[in-house]
Each structure stands twice: as C-alpha cells, then as structure tokens.
Structure 1
Amino acid sequence: MGSDWDAEKATPPKSAKDWDGPQDEANPQNWSLTKRLYHSLIPTSIAFLCPFGSSVYTPGHMEVMSDFAVNREVALLPFVFYLLGLSFGPVLAAPLSETYGRKLVYLSALPISAAFTLGAGFSEGIASLIVCRFFAGLFSSPGLSIGTGTLSDIWPPEKRAVPMAMFISMVQVGPALGPLIGGYVTIEMSWRWTQWVILFGMAFVLGLTLGMKETYKAVILSRRAKALGIEGPDLPQANKTRIETIKFFATKTIVRPLHMLCTEVIVTLFDLYVAFNFGLLNAFFAAFSWVFQNVYGFGLGSTGLTYLGQLVGTIVGLCIMLYISVVKWPRDLEALKREGGSKLPPEHRLLIAKIGAPLLPASLFFFGWTARPSVHWIAPVIAEGLFGCGNLLIFTTASLYLTDCYGAKYGASAWSSNTFLRYLFAFIFPLFAVQMYEGLGTGWATSLLGFCSLALVPIPFAFDRYGAKLRSNTAYPSGE
C-alpha cells in the first residue's frame, strides 16, 4: 500500500532516490492520457474557481450596502479582502506540497475555504462578511499556487504547453464570468447566493480531488522507500531540527522571494508589470459597473454581460499563445538544432509579451474615449476584449520567462513573489477606482491608467535585448 510498486510484476528496486527507469509506472508522466487529463482538470478547475470567487461578489455589493447600512467603499471591502487573502495564501503552499504532497494541500485547504464561504453567506454584519471573505480567499489560494507545479509533475516539457495555457487562461476566465453570473444570481435571488454558487463549484472540485493520486515525485518516491524499506530521496526538511525546519520554510517562502523581488531586475520589473495589470483587471470589476450603469444606463444583468468582452479577448489570447507554443517554437527549435544548438534561450518566450504589451495601453485609451452616450456600447466592450487578450499574453510570458530564467531551484520563489505582488495590487486598486472615475470622468481616469501602462510597454523589449546579460550576473542561476 502506498508504494506504487507491484511486486508480482518485477523485482523491487534497491533504491528509491529516482524513478526505476524511464517507463516507471509510478511516474505521473507515464500515466494514461485519461488519467493525466483527469488530474489536470483539478488544478485547472481551481484556477477558474478561486478568481471567480472574488468577482462574483461585486454585483451584489449594492444589496450589501442596503442590508448592512454601509457606504459603497465599505461594501466593496469583502471583495478586496478576498483578494488580499489570495496574496498571502501561497506563502506556505509550495513548500508544504513539496514536503507532504500536492494532494494533502488541496484536500486540507479547500474545505476550510468552503467553511468560510459558508460563513460569508450567512453573515449578519459587514465585519463578519469581511473576515469570512478574507479567510475564504486565504485558504483557496494554496490550491491555485501549486497548480503549475502539479501540471509540471504530470506532463513532460514537450507536452506541457497546452495544459499550462489552459490553466493560465482560467485565471482570467474565472473573474470575467464572475460578474455575469453574480449579476443574474443577485437579481433573481440575493447577494448571499453569490456565495452559494462558489460552494457548488467547490463541491465539484473537492469531488474530483478525492479521486486524485499524489503527483509530486519526491513524495511518491519517499512513500515507495518507506513501504519497501529501501533508501529514498533526500527531502529538504529531512534530518532537520524544528528550528532548522522553520528557518528553511521562512527562507524559501518569505526571505528568498522578497530578496529576489528587491534585487533581481528581471523579477522586479516583470512582477510590477503583471501586478499593475492585475490591479487594473480587478479595479475594472468595480469601475466598469459604474461606467456602464451611469453612461449607458445598463441594469445589473446587462452590465455583467459586458464582461464577455474580456472573456472573448482571453480566448483570442489563448489561441495566439497556443499557436506560438505548439507551432512556432517547435519550428524555431528544429531550426536551431540544424545549426548545432540544443535549447532556445529564455528570451525566446518574450515574443508573446511583445505582442501583448502594446494592446494594453491601446485598449485603455480606446475604452476611455469611446465609453460615452454618443458612441455605441459595443466599442468599450471591444476595448475590454483587447485588454483581456494583452493581459493574458503578458501573464503567460511572465510565468514562462521567470521559470526559464531561474530554473527549478529558484523559479518557484520568483513566481511566489509575483503571486504576492499581483494580488496585493489587486487588493489596492479597487479601493480607489470608482472614486477616480467619479472625480476625473471616464476619459481621463482611463487615460491616466493608459499612460501608466504605456510606460511599462518597453519591459519585454528591453529584456529581449539585455536579458542574457542580466541572467549572467544573477545571484540565482537556473543551473540548467
């Protein structure tokens, strides 16, 4: 039991430090296609559900204002505190999953998140609603943060592009559909049903997770070693005292990501770029409702439909990403091999960002100066689509480029800093978005954001030129 080894089929291995050959059946990358697709559905569903849980609340905040007799800014706090919870959740998720396995993190965190979501739905005051939403976000995010690691466990590098693309795109599809579903649920039922919708989704994901097998290599091999009484892999926390273990976790989850954020130019600039875009994305969930209701007189349900523009843009971005990943990059690699090379440099990934970067400021200026009664409402919706497309392309590039630059050893820390900063910005931006639109008007408020976005456009182009030099001077080499 738990060894993933059939003693009747073959002689047990003498060591469990590595797989027993390339065809080892315990290796998740050797599972059947059906089994790998099933296990890929779990993190992909979580990637949809967790961000969906943030935005689905926003259409109901007007009812919350009425029910709890609070102003708009206070009624939006349950939305932004959920995002704040998402920023802190990944701190321990990755090292815990690398010590105790992916499945344990999924099965321990999601039920706690579900319990706090239940509490949010039954809240009788704004304070309890804010607290429950914060902890619901906090405990839903570990499953989100280890999703890419789970997919890397299951799929070999040459087959990883499509599942990774689906996972990353769900991070934007979820919040794009949240206001649409939340709007109609609030109209037909009440704001409390926005929380029940999240619970229905969690029940589905937890049902999938119950049938999950462990995917993390070191944990699988450690269990095999224990079952067979043989030498196992060297786990990072093995033979450490309690103080040493705490120091190890603190270094990996807090000190190193923050140090990389402050000292590594690649990490600093890409983290700021992605964080700014995520801040905008979540600010729009508050601001766009104001724009379409005040400029075009849309109702709650109709306003939710406008977010389909972002959804379409995300799908277009996904298609661009898949074409480059599945068609262009393999061709480039074959051409490189014919010239004697073996591996495309990380800067090759920046093509996706160079396509997406100009779309972001263009979409903001387009939205700002077409969202007016004299212009048909489809124009700002198209602008939303351009933003969704550009945002996905930048986000994808950050994930791939940081992983390639810092490798398996430091890539997780680089991405951890990115996750923390982007959800911190997502927490901050909605707090001032509506006030800014009321004070400056739609045109100049969006243009101000557009000028900020325009200043960030050179980042992928600069890394394309200077990235190799920056990587050669890093304190965190990829080792590859």
Structure 2
Amino acid sequence: MSGMEDEEKNIELVPPPSEQHTPTNIGLWDWSSENDPDDPHNWPKGKRAYHAGITAAFAFTTTFMSSIYASGADEVSEHYGVSTTVSLLGISMYCLGLSFGPVLAAPLSETFGRSIVYLSSLPVAALFTVGCAVAQNIGTIIVCRFFAGFFAAPALSIGGGTLADIFHPSSRGIAMSLFLLAPFLGPALGPVIGGFVAEKKGFRWLEWVMLFFMIATYLYSLRLKETYKPIILRRRRKRLGVPEASKLSNGAGALRVFLTITLFRPLTMLITEPIVAFFSLYVSINFGILFTFFASFPLVYSRVYGFNTGQIGLTFLPIMIGSVLATIICVLCDRLLYQKEFMRASAQTDSENNLEDGEAASTLTSQESPRIKVLVEPEHRLYAAMIGGIGIPIGLFWFAWTARSDVHWASPVVSTIIFAWGNLCVFISAMTYLIDSYGPQYGASAVSANGFSRYIFSAAFPLFAIQMYDRLGIDWATSLLGFISVALLPIPWILFKWGPQIRKKSAYKIIEH
C-alpha cells in the first residue's frame, strides 16, 4: 500500500528527477511563486467568497432535503398503509445515501477534481427527487430517497477540502465556521417549511420544494472553477504540452490508483486513524441524536402539548438559533484564541528564519526562494469543542425533564437551543481539526470518513426513536442520550493533550498545510 501511495504522490506532486529545479519547469509541478495567480489562495476575495458560498449552498440544500421529508411521514404512512417506522425509512435511506456518497465523491474529487463532482452529482439527485415525488408505492419512495441522498452527498464531503484549497489556515477558521453552519440550518429549516407545506399541499409537494432548492443551487454554481492544486497543475502541464511524470497518470493508471487507494482511503482512515475514528464517533452520536428529533418531536409535542403539523415544524427553529450562536462562538474562538497562537507562531518563525533568509537571498532568485509557512498546531482548533461539548448533555437533560404537561412548552424548546449550540461547536471543531491535521491532500478523505460514519448513525437513530420513547418515556429516553453524550465529552480534551503524538504516528503525513 505504501508503494502505491508513493506512486500516487509522484503523479500529482513530484516531477521526474531530471526535470526538477530547472528554470523552464518552474510552475509546472508546483506554484511558480507565492503569488501565482492560479493558486486559489491568491484569488480575489470576491471570487473566494463566491466559491465558499457554493459549498455552503450545496451543503444547505443537501441537508434541507434530509429533514423536510419528516413533515410528511405521517401522511405517507396513512397514504400507503404502512407503519410510521416504515414511512421514516424515507429519512433513514436518504441519510444512508449521504453516508455512502462521500466515500466515492471525496476520492473522485482528489483524482479528477472538485468541480466535476459538484456539477455532475446534483442533477442526478434531482432526477431521483422527481421520482420520489411521483412514486406510486412506498418501495419507490425508499429507493429514490436513497439515491437522491447518494448523489446529493458530495458537497458534504468535499466542501471542507474546497475551503482548504482557497483559504490559508490562518483565515480558514471563519470560512469553515460559516460553511459548517449550512448543514445545521438545512435540517432545522426543513421541518419549519415542510410542516406548513405538508399541512396545506400534501407530502408530494415536499419533494417539489426540494427540487426548487436544488435548481437554485445549481444555477448559482455554474461559474464554479477548479480549486484542487494537483488538478490545476496537471491541466497547466497539459495546456503547455508537458508529459506527465508517470505512466500511472494516464486514464488506466489513474483508475487503478483510484480503485486501489483513493476509493478505500476514507474507510481505511476511519479504522486506522485514531483522530478520525474518535471524532467520527463523537460527531456521529451527536448527529444521530439530532435526527432522533425528527421522529421524537412530533411524538412529544403532539402528545404532550397538542401541536399540529405546522406548529411542530416551528419547534425546530431553536436548532437554527443554537446553530447561529455556535457559529459566533467558533468565530470568537478563532479570533481570540487561534489567531493569537498564529501571531505567536508567526513571530517565532520570522525570528528563526531571518538569518537563513538573508543568506539564501544571495544565492537564490526570488522564484527559487523557499516559501516559509507558519504552522499552528491543529489542536488549537479544538477550543470550541471543549467549550461547547458541555451544552449537549445540558440540553438533553433539560429537555428530558421539562417536556411534560405541567411545564410550559417554551422550556423544552429553549433546551433545544443549548443542544444545537453544543452540537455545532463540536462539529465545526471536528471538521477544522481534521482539515488542519491532514491538509488538502488527505483532508477530504478524512472528512469523507467522518461523513460516512455520521450519516450511518443518522439513518439508524430515527428507526428506533419512537419505540424507545414509547417504552422508556420522554424523560428516560432522552436522559439515556444525555448519558451517552457525557461519556463522549472528554474526546476533544484528550486530543488537545495527546493529538500531536498521535499525528506523528499517522500513515497519512500532511503534505501541504
């Protein structure tokens, strides 16, 4: 496996020995200088903001589609004469599609480029959404929902890699925080809109609403440019007629590399990389609990407070409020804590390299001078998770023991804000930590592994939620979830202390920070 890894790196990053360090090949195998205009880090701010907006739009639309279906689950159950659990398979199968889609999409993006994955996947997902809208039986709905999720999934796995492509680590924190707000706003807004659509127009119109969002997202993304460095450089070499360094860079070779390495890399990282494994477990449990709400909220608020479908949808608004608060906290952590560490590391790097740079300047041209990169330990991305993690069990225990008829409905609603705040704080920290730990080269695969695990749990939890709440009651069913979240609390603290030692033993050494 290590031999194939070396071959893959040779394809994209390393020129033949005979062609290295020659003036005529500057800019063919790496950026020509730190100001290379093709480097997405040097794009104008407006262009970078536009591409960040594309990743957010895809993520929002994809996750919006996961939850809006829940508003029509009871009507689907009645219309097709199946149990509520069977009707909820529409959520679970979509999430299952979201879990398997990134396993394919992220490696594809690292082999053939990000842009082609974005622009080719969503139209296929739209076709299956139409199939779901016109379905005449529950089996068709379940199958179409799976494939709609599968082909809508890429943005959730390669969005983080795209942001790593276009933003330096020093400015990536805010961009990632705003991008990762989208996958939480989507599930929160879905039931809000879906509740009233299902009540007024019926469950089929939920699919048409999804389609409208998909069309708008796709039209917005039509000016998307490639951001992945190896692909940009490969296209530059092809444009200039420069042969590739390895026979593996032809179509058959690229396919062999894709099948033997890249396709299985996310799953390998999920099993062999402790950082990926533990954070995937933490985030997956949190997402599973979030998706439990899509089954449990209708049960709780209709039985205890007598809410109708539209009113139940409104109970998801606190998730949006908590998510916005979490984004603010993550931005503050970046500004006040991470940037402080970055400035300290920058000053130290300048001091240590000042003399060496002066000596090198006498012998190297400006284009040959090494680019000095300031590295900040990825563990400084974990502050938000360490702060916000406590909000998850607090919110769950609060909900567990106040969602009863003698307590006003506002109390469990407010508890959801606390849960959502903690959940997104952990999620944003996890994603930025994975990207900084593995870099653009392997970051998309690390995020893909996390996404695979995350949506497997999201698919499973709604299927036992109703039975769990019926047997244990609202109080102990939600408390059980709270106890699980307490057990997971130490993970970011452990990684903050021992993360550097763990990363040193990683088989996926960072290539570009």
Query: What is the TM-score of this pair, normalised by structure 2?
Result: 0.86
Structure 1 337/29 Cα, relative in aligned 2: closer, same or farther at 3 Å?
closer
Residue type of the alignment partner of 2:425: L
For residues 103-136 of structure 1, the C-alpha deviation after alignment (integer angstroms, 9 at most, x for no partner) is 2111211100000001100111100011111100
Residue in 1 that maps onto 2:48? 36
2:106–2:445: 8 Å Cα contact kept in structure 1?
A: no
Alignment root-mean-square deviation, CA: 2.2
Alignment of structure 1 residues 348-367 onto 2, 5 Å: 348-367=380-399
1:443 and 2:475 correspond? yes
1:198 and 2:210 correspond? yes
Residue type of the alignment partner of 1:162: I
SS at match of 1:70: coil
For residues 331-368 of structure 1, the C-alpha deviation after alignment (integer angstroms, 9 at most, x for no partner) is 23324555678543222222111111111111110000
Structure 1 263/144 Cα, relative in aligned 2: closer, same or farther at 3 Å?
closer
TM-aligned CA deviation for residue 231 of structure 1: 5.1
Unaligned runs of 5+ in 2: 1-23, 353-373
TM-aligned CA deviation for residue 235 of structure 1: 8.4
Q: Distance in 2 between matches of 1:319 and 1:309?
A: 15
Q: Distance in 1 between matches of 2:238 and 2:138?
A: 50
Q: Distance in 1 between matches of 2:249 and 2:169?
A: 29
1:136 and 2:148 correspond? yes
Identical aligned pairs, as a percentage? 46
TM-aligned CA deviation for residue 282 of structure 1: 0.7
Residue type of the alignment partner of 1:23: N
Residue in 2 that maps onto 1:300? 309
SS at match of 2:38: coil
Q: Distance in 2 between matches of 1:236 and 1:403?
A: 30
Unaligned runs of 5+ in 1: 1-11
Alignment of structure 1 residues 24-103 onto 2, 5 Å: 24-103=36-115
SS at match of 2:428: helix
SS at match of 2:153: helix
Residue in 2 that maps onto 1:270? 279
Residue in 2 that maps onto 1:321? 330
Residue type of the alignment partner of 1:249: L
TM-aligned CA deviation for residue 13 of structure 1: 7.3
Alignment counterpart, residue 283 of structure 1, candidates 271, 279, 292 = 292
For residues 16-66 of structure 1, the C-alpha deviation after alignment (integer angstroms, 9 at most, x for no partner) is 222333333333332222222222211110110101101000010111112
TM-aligned CA deviation for residue 162 of structure 1: 2.2
1:214 and 2:230 correspond? no
Q: Distance in 1 between matches of 2:456 and 2:146?
A: 13
Alignment of structure 1 residues 372-391 onto 2, 5 Å: 372-391=404-423
> Is 363-372 or 16-25 further displaced after alignment?
16-25
Structure 1 103/412 Cα, relative in aligned 2: closer, same or farther at 3 Å?
closer
Q: Distance in 2 between matches of 1:223 and 1:470?
A: 36
Residue in 2 that maps onto 1:452? 484
2:26–2:32: 8 Å Cα contact kept in structure 1?
A: no
1:415 and 2:447 correspond? yes
2:73–2:88: 8 Å Cα contact kept in structure 1?
A: yes
Structure 1 319/407 Cα, relative in aligned 2: closer, same or farther at 3 Å?
same
TM-aligned CA deviation for residue 146 of structure 1: 1.3
TM-aligned CA deviation for residue 315 of structure 1: 0.4
Structure 1 235/120 Cα, relative in aligned 2: closer, same or farther at 3 Å?
farther
1:470 and 2:502 correspond? yes
SS at match of 1:89: helix
TM-aligned CA deviation for residue 378 of structure 1: 1.1
Residue in 1 that maps onto 2:493? 461
1:127 and 2:139 correspond? yes
2:111–2:258: 8 Å Cα contact kept in structure 1?
A: no
2:103–2:449: 8 Å Cα contact kept in structure 1?
A: no
Q: Distance in 2 between matches of 1:216 and 1:472?
A: 25
1:433 and 2:465 correspond? yes
Q: Distance in 2 between matches of 1:17 and 1:339?
A: 30
Q: Distance in 2 between matches of 1:411 and 1:235?
A: 24
1:251 and 2:261 correspond? yes
